[in-house]
A = this chain, B = another copy of it.
Amino acid sequence: MNRPPRIGADVALSDLPGWNSVEGLEAVGRSFRFETFSAAFEWMTRVARAAEAMDHHPEWRNVYNRVDVILTTHDADGVTELDVRLAKIMDSAFADLTR
């Protein structure tokens, strides 16, 4: 499968409110906070399914009700449309679960 071209973190961030650059990495990051561990893990489960379908996976760290995410495309050595797409899926699942 051809990987999409690298677009760079800055261009990606202009399309991703709530996301931030990641120090020392060509990546975008966001910290998601939930009411409970269960809510956090339910969100992770939804996102995991989408990630698997896209064959594009996050780096993420969960501590209780918090999930810190870093997205980058290793094959492209930077941020691509795949990261933007996965970020938007995460935002949308988050909005859906926390509204």
Binding site for B on A (CB under 8 A): 37-38, 41, 44-45, 48, 51-52, 57-64
Q: List 20 A-B contacts (CB under 8 A).
A: A37-B48, A37-B51, A37-B52, A37-B57, A38-B52, A41-B45, A41-B48, A41-B52, A44-B44, A45-B45, A57-B63, A57-B64, A58-B62, A59-B61, A59-B62, A59-B63, A60-B61, A60-B62, A61-B61, A61-B62
**Cα–Cα, bound, A51→B45 (Å):** 15
CA distance A44 to B45 in the complex (A): 9
* Cα distance A41–B37 in the bound complex, in angstroms: 16
Select from chain B the residue with minimum beta-carbon distance to A62: B60
Question: Considering the chains assembled together, what is the distance between the CA atoms of A51 and B37 in angstroms?
Answer: 9
Known: A37-B48, A37-B52, A41-B48. 17 other contacts (CB 8 A): A37-B51, A37-B57, A38-B52, A41-B45, A41-B52, A44-B44, A45-B45, A57-B63, A57-B64, A58-B62, A59-B61, A59-B62, A59-B63, A60-B61, A60-B62, A61-B61, A61-B62
